[in-house]
């Protein structure tokens, strides 16, 4: 595939990770976006990487065990108790 | 309700709202449940003590996740582990290039089907086997959603190092997923490298 949207496939793929991570400067970000709009092959690759990233992002959230939630609630209550004992003008 | 009790109530609710994220992130970092729970409890305590440094309440989630991650890094360093010391790994493996079949009809997408079949446990296992320096940047960027700048600051390395570790870490992760898929029979092809079909 040739030059699409002002960049080649090789250039677009070199910037793909930073593009998907929102780490490109505005001009470069626009160039990659334009290339992906025009190049089916690179778009397909970008969608795959985006989906994999999305699946990884979901790993950052787990069900909270009931016992641990109770532990956290007790911890938070201890902050409230200690805050209540501090005079207002301190 | 006075200002202090209002602050306490807000902090309590904010922590409870973000608890699934704290638990998930801590488990991915610590790799065992008990250590993860201790890490979360310690991070919440530090967040409470340092709550004055939170400038915007809307940024609470990212702020407390960074506290948790930095606490983990600090504990690892004090134990003599150095997650910032990278291994020399040359890895540019692309799962997409292994899966993509350019001559299939347009509605057939084996790479998307592969992701559909992938289990949460497969991803967790693939991350857990990464060498520590790569595991950390992949977790921080892809699981926690931190920026390159934030990761560089936490790991005390230049942003260029974050970029290269991330590229290699993602390559290793994709290779681990591919090998697991072959072992599990999700793919019949050998994990030997084949020439890129992209271009």
Domain ranges of chain A: 9-83
**Average pLDDT of the residues in A8-33:** 95
pLDDT band, residue B113 (cuts 50/70/90) = confident
pLDDT of residue A89: 46
The answer to whether residue B175 neighbours chain A at the CB level (below 8 Å) is: no
Query: Residue A5: its pLDDT value, please?
Result: 74
Pairwise CA distance, residues B33 & B25, whole Å: 11
Which positions 108-127 of B are in contact with A (Cβ < 8 Å)? Answer: 109, 111-112, 115, 118, 120, 123-124, 127
Q: What is the torsional sign of CA B152, B134, B43, A69?
A: positive
The chain-wide mean pLDDT, for chain A, equals 89
Report pLDDT for B194: 47
| pLDDT for res B92 | 78
B70 pLDDT more than 90: yes
Q: How confident is the model at residue B182 (pLDDT cuts 50, 70, 90)?
A: confident
The DSSP result for B131-194, as a single string, is: -HHHHHHHIIIIIS---HHHHHHHHTS-HHHHHHHHHHHHHHHHHHHHHHHHHTTS--S-SS--
Which of the pair, A4 or B160, is modelled with greater confidence? Answer: B160
pTM, two decimal places: 0.84
Q: Which of A17, A45, A72 sits opposite B41 (nearest CB)?
A: A72
Please indicate whether residue B194 or residue A37 has the higher confidence score (pLDDT): A37
Nearest C-alpha in A relative to B167:
A17
The ranges assigned to domains in chain B are 3-78, 95-183
Task: Provide the token pair at A38.
Answer: 């025009």
In this prediction, residues B14-23 reach a mean pLDDT of 97
Mean pLDDT of B179-190: 72
| Residue carrying the six token digits 């704290």 | B22
Segment A45-56, tens digit of pLDDT: 999 999 999 999
Quick: pLDDT tens for A21-42.
Answer: 999 999 999 999 999 999 988 9
Q: Across-strand partners of A7? A: A4
Residue A4's DSSP bridge partners are A7
For residue B16, the model assigns a pLDDT of 97
Query: Which CATH fold would you assign to the domain A9-83?
Result: Arc Repressor Mutant, subunit A (1.10.10)
ipTM value: 0.85
User: Do B28 and A44 lie within an 8 Å CB cutoff?
Assistant: no
Distances in Å between the alpha carbon of A85 and those of A77, A79, A81, B48?
A: 13, 10, 7, 16
Confidence of residue B90 (pLDDT cuts 50, 70, 90): low
Q: Is it the case that residue B191 has pLDDT exceeding 50?
A: no
Residue B64 burial by CB count (10 A; 0-12/13-18/19+): exposed, middle or buried? buried
SS3 A69: helix
pLDDT, tens digit (0-9, with 9 covering 90-100), for B129-172: 999 999 999 999 999 999 999 999 999 999 999 999 999 999 99
A 42-81 → B contacts, CB under 8 A: 44-45, 47-49, 51-53, 55-65, 68-69, 71-73, 75-76, 79-80
* CATH of the domain spanning B3-78: 1.10.1740.10
**Least Cα separation, residue B132 to chain A (angstroms):** 17
Residues of B in contact with A21 (CB under 8 A): 141, 147-148
pLDDT tier at B198, thresholds 50, 70, 90: very low
Mention the CATH class of domain B95-183: mainly alpha
Comparing A72 with A1, the larger pLDDT belongs to A72
Å from B21 to nearest chain A CA?
Answer: 4
pLDDT > 70 fraction of chain B, expressed in percent and rounded: 83
């Amino acid at each position: 595939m040739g030059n699409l949207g002002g960049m080649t496939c090789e250039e677009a793929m070199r910037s793909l990770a930073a593009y998907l991570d929102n780490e490109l400067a505005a001009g470069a970000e626009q160039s990659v976006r334009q290339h992906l709009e025009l190049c089916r092959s690179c778009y397909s690759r970008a969608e795959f990487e985006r989906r994999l990233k999305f699946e990884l992002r979901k790993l950052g959230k787990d069900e909270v065990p009931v016992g641990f939630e109770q532990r956290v609630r007790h911890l938070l209550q201890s902050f409230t108790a200690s805050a209540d004992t501090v005079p207002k003008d301190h | 309700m006075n200002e202090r009790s209002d602050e306490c109530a807000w902090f309590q609710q904010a922590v409870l709202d973000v608890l699934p994220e704290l638990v998930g992130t801590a488990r991915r970092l610590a790799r065992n449940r008990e250590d993860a729970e201790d890490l979360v409890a310690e991070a919440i305590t530090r967040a409470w003590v340092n709550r004055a440094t939170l400038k915007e309440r809307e940024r609470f989630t990212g702020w407390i996740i960074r506290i948790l991650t930095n606490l983990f890094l600090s504990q690892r360093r004090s134990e003599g582990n150095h997650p910032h010391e990278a291994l020399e790994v040359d890895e540019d493996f692309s799962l997409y290039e292994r899966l993509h079949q350019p001559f299939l009809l347009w509605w057939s997408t084996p790479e998307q089907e592969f992701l559909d079949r992938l289990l949460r446990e497969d991803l967790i296992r693939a991350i857990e086997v990464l060498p520590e320096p790569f595991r950390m940047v992949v977790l921080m960027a892809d699981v926690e959603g931190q920026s390159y700048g934030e990761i560089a600051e936490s790991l005390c390395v230049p942003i260029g190092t974050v970029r290269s570790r991330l590229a290699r870490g993602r390559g290793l992760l994709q290779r681990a997923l591919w090998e697991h898929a072959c072992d599990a029979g999700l793919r019949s092809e050998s994990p030997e490298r084949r020439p890129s079909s992209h271009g």
